[in-house]
Chain A
């Protein structure tokens, strides 16, 4: 495949730092769109604010770069008015689970037919490395120079509990897994979440020895410390410290929003 068929070349090179994982995740999305043969005009790519949310600017689909944490609301509007549009949201961990946390759980609760790809770098990259809701306890950020006192969210488990049809987690290093999970999400109805762990050397790696400081060290850390979910289920919490649990968390056939909504339309005798 030729990525240039999907990029706005006049906007390249992208702004992401050297070794940032976000470009690797974007490539997985483009490879999957290419594999499925989706028409560019039938795809809407929507984001909020953050480094990860810069993604739509580089891609030649129907794109919206909206307000912080609100991408899912805009995407819901698009999907309701154009149900055939392949609707993809890209979001950072801050965008999706801090300022946009409510939108995230309620889109999952309604099982809205949207694909959400979360670029989780465990930090607010764009604004200089403040703690996000996924910064692990004890890790360093510009707002936690002596270590983060908070407990993190597990995004995939949160999405699963809130009602999403499909939830999986991969890492930037495991690009083949990422492709596979994005394809499963794209093929499925309902709210489908793929969380991809994406190195942020500039705002996270630089401050945290355990992950490595630069992009290739952080990818190596993902390679060496990822644990498939089947194996993780048999491990103790202390054995899973600093490990990345990857795999499919849930893949269930439950009615999506539109199944219920169409019933309501029928009862109201609308077309």
Chain B
């Protein structure tokens, strides 16, 4: 599957609440021993649900279309 978005995580701020794991419709994350892990990056649609619901400003989703625009701007 073609990758649709980049997922960046600043885990230093993560409090392991698992909200991203539970609410990603594509099951991109799985809970690791302490922190969520990205297990299926290619499944990410770039919907930003995880970014919007993460209370701790950990996740940044950049849809690749947006990224291209940023780079060419």
For chain A, residues 129 to 158, give those with C-beta under 8 angstroms from any C-beta of chain B: none
Q: CB of A75 within 8 A of chain B?
A: no
Q: Tell whether, in the assembled complex, residue A18 and residue B23 are in contact, meaning their CB atoms are under 8 Å apart.
A: no
How many angstroms between the C-alpha atoms of A172 and B13 in the bound complex? 20
Q: Tell whether, in the assembled complex, residue B53 and residue A24 are in contact, meaning their CB atoms are under 8 Å apart.
A: yes
For chain A, residues 1 to 23, give those with C-beta under 8 angstroms from any C-beta of chain B: 2-4, 7, 12-14, 16-23
Q: CB of A56 within 8 A of chain B?
A: no
How far apart are B9's CB and chain A's nearest CB, in angstroms?
13
Q: CB of A244 within 8 A of chain B?
A: no
Q: Tell whether, in the assembled complex, residue A173 and residue B13 are in contact, meaning their CB atoms are under 8 Å apart.
A: no
Interface size on B, residues (CB 8 A): 17
A12, A16, A214, A220: the one within 8 Å of B55 (CB): A16
Q: Tell whether, in the assembled complex, residue B56 and residue A13 are in contact, meaning their CB atoms are under 8 Å apart.
A: yes
Q: Tell whether, in the assembled complex, residue A7 and residue B57 are in contact, meaning their CB atoms are under 8 Å apart.
A: yes
How many angstroms between the C-alpha atoms of A23 and B22 in the bound complex? 17
How many angstroms between the C-alpha atoms of A255 and B28 in the bound complex? 50
Q: Tell whether, in the assembled complex, residue A27 and residue B57 are in contact, meaning their CB atoms are under 8 Å apart.
A: yes
Q: CB of A109 within 8 A of chain B?
A: no
How many angstroms between the C-alpha atoms of A223 and B51 in the bound complex? 17
Residues of chain A within 8 A of B19, CB atoms compared: 19, 215-216, 219
For chain A, residues 224 to 242, give those with C-beta under 8 angstroms from any C-beta of chain B: none
Residues of chain B within 8 A of A4, CB atoms compared: 57
Residues of chain A within 8 A of B12, CB atoms compared: 13
Q: Tell whether, in the assembled complex, residue B55 and residue A215 are in contact, meaning their CB atoms are under 8 Å apart.
A: yes
Q: Tell whether, in the assembled complex, residue B57 and residue A22 are in contact, meaning their CB atoms are under 8 Å apart.
A: no
B13, B17, B57, B60: the one within 8 Å of A19 (CB): B17
How far apart are B58's CB and chain A's nearest CB, in angstroms?
9
For chain B, residues 18 to 69, give those with C-beta under 8 angstroms from any C-beta of chain A: 18-19, 21-23, 52-57, 60
How many angstroms between the C-alpha atoms of A216 and B23 in the bound complex? 8
Residues of chain A within 8 A of B56, CB atoms compared: 13-14, 16, 23
Among B16, B18, B54, B55, find the residue whose CB has the most chain A CB atoms closer than 10 A. B55
Interface on A for B, CB 8 Å cutoff?
2-4, 7, 12-14, 16-24, 27, 172-173, 175-176, 214-216, 219-220
Interface on B for A, CB 8 Å cutoff?
12-13, 15-19, 21-23, 52-57, 60
Show 18 A/B contacts (Cβ-Cβ < 8 Å), sorted by A.
A13-B15, A16-B56, A17-B15, A18-B15, A18-B16, A19-B18, A19-B19, A20-B55, A23-B54, A23-B56, A27-B52, A175-B53, A214-B17, A215-B18, A215-B19, A219-B19, A219-B22, A219-B53
